[in-house]
Amino acid sequence: MSFTARVGVFGGTFNPLHDAHLLVAQTALTQFELSEIIFVPSGIPPHKEVAEGIDREDRYAMVKEGITPYPHFSISRIEIDRAGPSYTIDTIRALKEDHPEGICFIVGADLLLQIETWKEPQALLQSVPFLIAPRAGVAKERFSVPPFDRAEIHFLRMTEVDLSSTSVRKRLKQGQAIERCVPHEIAAYIEEHSLYRYREQAIA
């Protein structure tokens, strides 16, 4: 399957962006022959508070720093600048207008299972093809039944993702190194801005 010239949209809180995010994006870009991956950090997630109260501008800045070495990766402020909660269907509709060549939406299998709690789930499922990152414990068969049976779903051919932003934040709280979990630029940004109580825990 190829989506040559289409754009991959990768949304998320990215709190913080980590190496698995980058691997998923690179895998989608290569396997489906996309022209570009657009990272879309959420402004105000509708389903949860941002862990540790990290400011949206810090999350945006970390993504921007982390994707710098990748020529086919870019970042959008569409949700960062939006007033009120960030709904995926609104973002998809806006980006489809900006990209008539077509878009695909990249998401983890565990998150997609929560689709019925999202705004306009049926419209969203039928709006674009979904490129799914496999997650441990989530069987592919779960996406062959309603409401997913009407959606165009493709799984990335890759090892199940087991790194999460939650685990990165936990390591930081415990004063552990994260250089093998996130790009160097992001580790430096976190230390410089004292995010996730990094310095306090390191001293303790």
Residues 175 and 199: beta-carbon distance below 8 Å? no
The answer to whether residue 195 scores a pLDDT higher than 70 is yes
pTM of this prediction?
0.93
* Average per-residue pLDDT for the chain: 92
Question: Which pair of structure tokens corresponds to residue 201?
Answer: 């825990």
For residue 46, is the peptide bond before it cis, meaning its omega torsion is within 30 degrees of 0? no
**β pairing state of 7-12 and 103-108:** parallel
Looking at residue 44, what is its pLDDT? 83
CA atoms within 13 A on the CB side of 190: 32
Expressed in angstroms, the distance from the first to the final Cα of the chain is 52
Pairwise pLDDT comparison (62 vs 47), residue with the higher score = 62
Residues 15 and 166: beta-carbon distance below 8 Å? no
CATH hierarchy code of domain 7-162? 3.40.50.620
pLDDT tens-digit map of 139-178: 999 999 999 999 999 999 999 988 999 999 999 999 899 9
Q: Where are the domains of the chain?
A: 7-162
